[in-house]
Structure 1
Amino acid sequence: MSELVRRATDADAAELARMRRLALTCPAVPWSTPRLVPDGPWTEECGQALAAMLTDQAQETFAAFVVDAAPGRVAACAMGFLLPRLPGPGSDKPFNGDISTVATDPGFRRRGYARAVVIALRDWMVERGCKRITLTASSEGEPLYASLGFVADEPRMSWRAE
């Protein structure tokens, strides 16, 4: 399966933005109707931001891995960030990882593509000195992440400007 996975480039930015929008439609209740996520300027802005991050790979703080459906079309992706951290008693590793988006196009599900791209992204993070990787799982994704060794780590809190 790993031969199908490749690291995304800036040429994949628009497709990655499409996949991010798809990931955001994941229903709150498992296997129910997908949430409505409006299209709009944010998808183009997301594509531009992704292109910039993928172009500036010298920073090595962001990566995306994909499985192609066809030339110019992505079947599955996983995207994530390395977040600098201060050493502490539990780790002297320089980064924590955050997997921000995992998505599989509906026509390509149940083929192991999500597993393959998540493993590639996890391995990339670990190779760069990551000890802890976090993600927010949908109900549908939880079994996959659990099978890869991810465990629930609550409470997770956040603040958002209004």
Structure 2
Amino acid sequence: MSVRRAVVADAGELARLRQLSLTCPAVPWTRPREVLDGPWVEECQEAIATMLRDQNAVAAFVVDVGPGHIGACAMGLLLPRLPGPSSGKPFNGDISTVATDLEFRGRGYARAVVTALMDWMVASGCKGISLASSPEGEPLYASLGFAYDDPRMSWRAR
């Protein structure tokens, strides 16, 4: 297995894997949620392509499983932060998507791409890294040192 940093030409495959990641069931190991196709998939592909052009703020790491086919990915962003008494590091990291095609699960691909993304974030000056996990992903993230130690409130526009 070889992990590489994604490029703009990978945007279509990354959008496909993002759609796959959204099908994770709310209840562990049950039937996947249905995520309908629509204009959002093409918009996602365009957004990913635009984001990947900024090599200093966004990265995705992938495992290729055939020509033009990515079997796993992890995408994340560096979020600027103000220095505080506990750290002057300039960024927090946010892992926005981790996905592995069903046929390639259980081979360590997700661990490899998440580890590569975390390494990039730390080398870029991250104080901390956050993500939202499906129940199936929790054991992987816990083994990489993620923990539920900072509950937060959030708001979403309707």
Alignment partner of 1:67 is 2:63: yes
Please report the TM-score for the alignment, with normalisation by the length of structure 2. Answer: 0.97
Q: State how far apart, in whole Å, the 1-side matches of 2:83 and 2:57 are.
A: 18
Pairing partner for 1:56 from 54, 57, 60: 54
Gaps of 5+ in 2: none
Gaps of 5+ in 1: none
Superposed displacement of residue 154, structure 1: 4.0
Post-superposition Cα deviations, 1:12-49, rounded to whole Å, max 9, x if no partner, equal: 00000000000000000000000111110000000011
* AA at the equivalent of 1:100: S
Superposed displacement of residue 55, structure 1: 2.4
Pairing partner for 1:30 from 28, 31, 42: 28
The count of corresponding residues between Structure 1 and Structure 2 is 158
Alignment partner of 1:84 is 2:80: yes
Alignment partner of 1:40 is 2:38: yes
Superposed displacement of residue 158, structure 1: 1.4
Task: Report the secondary structure of 2:64's partner residue.
Answer: strand
Q: State how far apart, in whole Å, the 2-side matches of 1:129 and 1:72 are.
A: 32
Alignment-derived partner of residue 100 in structure 1: 96
Q: State how far apart, in whole Å, the 2-side matches of 1:55 and 1:161 are.
A: 27
Query: RMSD across aligned C-alpha pairs, in angstroms?
Result: 0.9
State, as a whole percentage, how many aligned pairs show the same letter.
Answer: 72
Q: State how far apart, in whole Å, the 2-side matches of 1:131 and 1:146 are.
A: 18
Runs of 4 or more above 4 Å deviation: none
* AA at the equivalent of 1:108: F
Q: State how far apart, in whole Å, the 2-side matches of 1:8 and 1:29 are.
A: 31
Task: Report the secondary structure of 2:75's partner residue.
Answer: strand
Please report the TM-score for the alignment, with normalisation by the length of structure 1. Answer: 0.95
Q: State how far apart, in whole Å, the 1-side matches of 2:153 and 2:94 are.
A: 15
* AA at the equivalent of 1:155: P
Alignment-derived partner of residue 152 in structure 2: 156
Superposed displacement of residue 157, structure 1: 2.1
Post-superposition Cα deviations, 1:78-103, rounded to whole Å, max 9, x if no partner, equal: 00000000000111100000000000
Q: State how far apart, in whole Å, the 1-side matches of 2:152 and 2:97 are.
A: 17
Q: State how far apart, in whole Å, the 2-side matches of 1:11 and 1:144 are.
A: 28
